[in-house]
């Protein structure tokens, strides 16, 4: 039969009868190929007998059900034993989570850029790498003299760019106060030191007559807080951390408080040099000095970035000096450009997602109680939510604090602008959001159990967890033993073993092949080589291979087990099943259209060009339709209600059928196109078609053709059983065989 004939332009759903109103009707009549909710004759009230009533939800109940469905997950829905519902729920969760992950990545990567690295490098090269006339630089400082050479020459010159590259003075006030002509120096720099008091340590009795003073290593309870008044300088006045609005800092040697003796430097090169010369001549740095900080902040409007600089010189109790630096390039003013406002919109969506997932986890906790926390993925969900909430809270705090700080700075340009606290927490915020992104990507494994290959890794790690835990204990014991041995043997001579922590990480580097054997040999010609050989043998050859053996054996077991068992669910099978159901549905639609067209052609037994209801009913009863279904379909086109379809009414029905058949043929063509394309394109087209059909199935109930026959109680004859096959590319229809009429 030719399926290409038919009109165009009329949409689906042209018939208004809903067979769900009558349970005696064949359930397959729900198909949208011939049903429409609107009657052609609204004034007619066609009554169809029903054997039961369907309880309908009220508006509030429907609304609550719809809202509740927004948080439908595998843990809140009863998906066990229902593979299709399990797949749909998982796909829905995955799609929503991917959107959340994309938003999170946009927000995160929108905060950073490669420019931040180059900004840090430029400032580091200027203040740390630049050499003075003596040939030294900040990073080569080894004593007090080196520090003062750096401060008197390099520091003042680097802070204040008062001439152009041709030597001409910068006279424009708007162009003054810039570093590299682009970076505005905010406020004035500040130099601060922390000291310990004399006699803060105990001198042995044998040396008390020779050594009168003793200055211990730095500790907050040993700080020298003596205040001396010298003119208008504040460098001799001890001030607390709150007074200075300072922040504590971890140096190379120890942790330092934000208090101390502080002096603001000048706004010009001459003022800064004069203050430094005064401090140098008055011996501001003394024996008790344990650390000196130089703090300042610059802002580059071209890239909207702050660089908070801290130059640190520690003076240990051993004598000498150890220099270090901290450059924090941060974006404290968040919303300036169009891109920034786009990021702000994404941040708002991110907050909505956090609220969404908080409600979701709350529903799951309410349902599963304490057993909820037995799942690793649930704990990971809670962790990501907590980190995200902290990040959002700091984001709000930072915006308020920066606005306040900038307002204070504009009102007091001669004061030090301390952005250290904000930059510190901005760095912590960046770290936290980075961890959140990491865990968010790891969480993808929660949704990929539909594929055997993807589950092998998680199954392997889960199965060998106990073995790895036992191995970890044994490994840690041996590793810590070697760590202590290395620290005690070489700690006084080899930098990599100078502390227990350094020794620990040095041994990890040896495992990875990064080691310096000659340093060990030079430190101890006998025990150095023995230590190295024993460590490599026990840790590298024995323990590491045991670890690999545990993983390898477990992986083999998991792979063997998964080869003999069916997947939790297989997405390819799911799409294949959906495809077959769609083909079956199309075939069923086609059969219905063919039946009705045949009835229009053959039911007019007396050939009077009019089709009365008895002729219509007799023909369709033979084809297996129930009385209610026959009457409803007839009544839809019996506009005048005379129980007879005249030529115009028959023409309208035929036109609707042709339009429906044209739409059906188009769907067949979409399937046929997928046959002639590459596997990848075919897969994409198939998935698209299946998804479209699945969306329709959510709003209607599909039934197989075998359920179309009327029940014996209805008095209808059984519908012929048909065998079908998928239509080929050369034929839009599908052959069928009636086994009985």
What is the per-residue pLDDT across 53-77, written as a single tens digit (0 to 9) for each?
A: 444 556 776 666 666 666 767 666 6
Is residue 260 pLDDT above 50, yes or no? yes
Q: Which residues pair with 192 in a beta bridge?
A: 262, 293
Residue from 241, 199, 249 nearest 224 by CA? 199
Across 641-653, average pLDDT: 73
Task: Give Cα 682 to chain centroid, integer Å.
Answer: 31
Is residue 640 part of an annotated ligand binding site? yes
Rounded CA-CA distance 155/185 in Å is: 13
Cα 274 to Cα 176, 257, 271, distances in angstroms: 19, 28, 5
Across 544-557, average pLDDT: 91
Is residue 224 pLDDT above 80, yes or no? yes
Q: In this structure, what are the phi and psi dihedrals at residue 643, rounded to the nearest 5 degrees?
A: 65, 20
- 516 Cβ contact partners less than 8 Å away, ≥ 6 residues apart: 496
As given in the structure block, the two tokens for residue 551 are: 């993983």
Is residue 423 pLDDT above 90, yes or no? no
Is residue 14 pLDDT above 70, yes or no? no
H/E element, 326:
strand 322-330
Is residue 1 pLDDT above 60, yes or no? no
Q: In this structure, what are the phi and psi dihedrals at residue 367, rounded to the nearest 5 degrees?
A: -80, -40
Reported as a pLDDT band with limits 50, 70 and 90, residue 503 is very high
Collapsed DSSP state (helix, strand, coil) of residue 305 = strand
Could you report the per-residue pLDDT of 268-306, keeping only the tens digit for each? 999 999 999 999 999 999 999 999 999 999 999 999 999
Is residue 323 pLDDT above 50, yes or no? yes
Taking a C-beta distance cutoff of 8 angstroms, is the pair 519, 502 a contact? no
Helix axis angle, 544-563 to 452-463, nearest 10°: 130
Q: Say if strands 260-264 and 183-195 run parallel, antiparallel, or are unpaired.
A: antiparallel
**pLDDT for residue 606:** 63
Across 178-191, average pLDDT: 92
- 649 Cβ contact partners less than 8 Å away, ≥ 6 residues apart: 637, 638, 639
Tell the residue number behind the tokens 């009102």, with chain if given: 411
Q: Which residue has the higher pLDDT, 425 or 477?
A: 477
CATH node for 460-563: 1.10.287
Alpha helices in 412-464 (DSSP H): 420-442, 452-463
pTM for this entry:
0.66
**pLDDT for residue 565:** 66
Rounded CA-CA distance 256/420 in Å is: 14
User: CB count, 10 Å around CB of 332?
Assistant: 21
Is residue 213 pLDDT above 60, yes or no? yes
Taking a C-beta distance cutoff of 8 angstroms, is the pair 251, 314 a contact? yes
Is residue 642 part of an annotated ligand binding site? yes
Taking a C-beta distance cutoff of 8 angstroms, is the pair 261, 248 a contact? no
Least confident of 394-408, 629-643, 706-720: 706-720
Could you report the per-residue pLDDT of 577-624, keeping only the tens digit for each? 666 777 777 777 777 777 776 776 666 666 666 767 777 777 777 777
Cα 450 to Cα 298, 316, 443, 459, 568, distances in angstroms: 52, 60, 15, 13, 6
Reported as a pLDDT band with limits 50, 70 and 90, residue 571 is low
Least confident of 130-134, 288-292, 690-694: 690-694
Rounded CA-CA distance 339/113 in Å is: 13
Rounded CA-CA distance 203/407 in Å is: 52
Rounded CA-CA distance 538/149 in Å is: 51
Q: In this structure, what are the phi and psi dihedrals at residue 608, rounded to the nearest 5 degrees?
A: -100, 15
Residue from 561, 583, 594, 604 nearest 675 by CA? 583
Taking a C-beta distance cutoff of 8 angstroms, is the pair 192, 293 a contact? yes
Radius of gyration of the chain (CA): 41
Taking a C-beta distance cutoff of 8 angstroms, is the pair 455, 476 a contact? no
Across 303-315, average pLDDT: 94
**pLDDT for residue 40:** 37
Rounded CA-CA distance 433/354 in Å is: 13
Strands (E), 129-259: 178-179, 183-195, 238-239, 249-250, 255-256
Reported as a pLDDT band with limits 50, 70 and 90, residue 352 is very high
- The span from the first CA to the last CA of the chain, in angstroms, equals 19
As given in the structure block, the two tokens for residue 111 are: 């905060």
Rounded CA-CA distance 447/450 in Å is: 8
Is residue 638 part of an annotated ligand binding site? yes
Task: Give Cα 453 to chain centroid, integer Å.
Answer: 23
Taking a C-beta distance cutoff of 8 angstroms, is the pair 140, 129 a contact? no
Q: What is the mean pLDDT of the chain?
A: 77
- 425 Cβ contact partners less than 8 Å away, ≥ 6 residues apart: 394, 398
**pLDDT for residue 171:** 83
Q: CA 507, 513, 519, 523: dihedral to nearest 10 degrees?
A: 40
**pLDDT for residue 18:** 40
Is residue 718 pLDDT above 50, yes or no? no
Q: What percent of the chain has pLDDT over 90?
A: 30
**pLDDT for residue 12:** 40
Rounded CA-CA distance 135/279 in Å is: 23
**pLDDT for residue 700:** 44
Across 558-566, average pLDDT: 75
Collapsed DSSP state (helix, strand, coil) of residue 325 = strand
Residue from 198, 275, 194, 175 nearest 230 by CA? 275
Across 542-559, average pLDDT: 90
As given in the structure block, the two tokens for residue 585 are: 């549905």
Tell the residue number behind the tokens 């915020």, with chain if given: 429
Question: Which range has the top average pLDDT, 59-63, 167-171, 327-331?
Answer: 327-331
**pLDDT for residue 59:** 72
Rounded CA-CA distance 569/78 in Å is: 16
**pLDDT for residue 239:** 92
Reported as a pLDDT band with limits 50, 70 and 90, residue 104 is very high
As given in the structure block, the two tokens for residue 410 are: 């504009």
Is residue 341 pLDDT above 60, yes or no? yes
Rounded CA-CA distance 289/52 in Å is: 94
Rounded CA-CA distance 225/236 in Å is: 10
Is residue 553 part of an annotated ligand binding site? no
Across 422-441, average pLDDT: 88
**pLDDT for residue 690:** 58
Domain spans, the chain? 140-330, 460-563
């Amino acid at each position: 039969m030719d399926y290409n004939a038919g009109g165009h332009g009329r949409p689906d759903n042209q018939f208004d009868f809903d067979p769900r109103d009558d349970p005696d009707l064949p359930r397959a009549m729900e198909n949208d190929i011939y049903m429409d909710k609107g009657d052609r004759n609204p004034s007619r009230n066609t009554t169809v007998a029903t054997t039961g009533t369907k309880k309908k939800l009220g508006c509030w109940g429907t609304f609550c059900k719809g809202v509740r469905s927004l948080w439908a997950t595998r843990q809140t829905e009863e998906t066990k034993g229902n593979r299709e519902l399990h797949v749909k729920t998982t796909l829905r969760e995955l799609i929503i989570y991917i959107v959340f992950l994309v938003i999170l990545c946009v927000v995160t990567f929108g905060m950073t850029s490669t420019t931040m690295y180059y900004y840090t490098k430029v400032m580091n090269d200027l203040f740390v790498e630049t050499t003075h006339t003596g040939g030294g630089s900040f990073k080569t400082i080894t004593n007090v003299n080196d520090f003062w050479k750096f401060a008197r020459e390099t520091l003042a010159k680097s802070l204040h760019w008062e001439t152009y590259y041709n030597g001409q003075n910068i006279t424009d006030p708007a162009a003054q106060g810039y570093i590299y002509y682009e970076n505005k120096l905010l406020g004035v720099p500040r130099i601060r030191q922390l000291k310990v008091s004399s006699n803060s340590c105990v001198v042995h009795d044998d040396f008390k007559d020779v050594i009168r003073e003793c200055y211990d290593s730095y500790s907050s309870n040993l700080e020298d807080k003596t205040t001396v008044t010298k003119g208008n300088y504040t460098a001799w006045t001890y001030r607390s951390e709150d007074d200075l609005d300072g922040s504590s800092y971890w140096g190379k040697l120890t942790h330092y408080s934000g208090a101390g003796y502080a002096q603001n430097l000048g706004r010009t090169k001459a003022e800064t040099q004069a203050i430094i010369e005064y401090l140098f001549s008055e011996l501001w740095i003394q024996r008790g000095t344990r650390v000196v900080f130089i703090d300042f902040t610059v802002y580059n409007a071209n890239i909207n970035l702050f660089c908070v600089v801290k130059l640190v010189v520690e003076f240990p109790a051993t004598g000498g000096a150890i220099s270090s630096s901290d450059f924090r390039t941060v974006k404290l003013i968040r919303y300036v450009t169009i891109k920034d406002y786009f990021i702000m919109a994404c941040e708002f969506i991110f907050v909505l997602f956090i609220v969404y997932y908080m409600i979701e986890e709350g529903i799951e906790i309410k349902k599963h109680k304490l057993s909820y926390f037995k799942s690793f993925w649930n704990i990971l969900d809670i962790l990501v939510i907590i980190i995200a909430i902290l990040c959002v809270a700091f984001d709000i705090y930072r915006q308020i604090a920066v606005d306040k700080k900038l307002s204070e700075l504009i009102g007091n340009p001669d004061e030090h602008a301390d952005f250290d606290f904000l930059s510190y927490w901005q760095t912590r915020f960046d770290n936290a959001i980075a961890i959140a992104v990491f865990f968010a990507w790891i969480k993808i494994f929660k949704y990929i159990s539909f594929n055997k290959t993807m589950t092998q890794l998680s199954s392997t790690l889960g199965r060998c967890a106990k073995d790895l835990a036992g191995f970890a204990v044994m490994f840690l014991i041996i590793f810590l033993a070697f760590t202590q041995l290395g620290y005690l043997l070489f700690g006084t001579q080899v930098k990599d073993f100078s502390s227990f922590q350094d020794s620990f990480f040095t041994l990890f580097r040896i495992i990875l092949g990064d080691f310096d054997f000659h340093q060990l040999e030079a430190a101890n010609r006998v025990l150095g080589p023995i230590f190295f050989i024993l460590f490599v043998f026990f840790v590298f050859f024995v323990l590491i291979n045991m670890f690999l053996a545990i993983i390898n054996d477990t992986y083999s077991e998991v792979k063997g087990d998964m080869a003999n068992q069916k997947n939790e669910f297989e997405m390819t099978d799911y799409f294949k099943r959906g495809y077959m159901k769609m083909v079956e549905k199309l075939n069923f639609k086609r059969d219905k259209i063919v039946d009705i067209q045949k009835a229009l052609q053959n039911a007019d037994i007396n050939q009077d060009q009019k089709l009365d209801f008895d002729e219509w009913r007799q023909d369709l009863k033979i084809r297996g339709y129930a009385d209610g279904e026959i009457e409803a379909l007839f009544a839809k086109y019996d506009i005048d209600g005379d129980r007879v379809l005249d030529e115009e009414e028959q023409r309208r029905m035929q036109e609707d059928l042709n339009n429906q058949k044209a739409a059906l043929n188009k769907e067949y063509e979409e399937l046929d196109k997928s046959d002639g394309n590459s596997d990848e394109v075919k897969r994409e087209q198939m998935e698209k078609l299946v998804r479209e059909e699945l969306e329709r199935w959510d709003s209607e109930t599909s039934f197989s053709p075998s359920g179309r026959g009327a029940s014996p109680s209805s008095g209808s004859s059984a519908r012929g059983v048909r065998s079908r096959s998928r239509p080929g590319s050369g034929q839009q229809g599908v052959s069928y065989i009636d086994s009985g009429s």
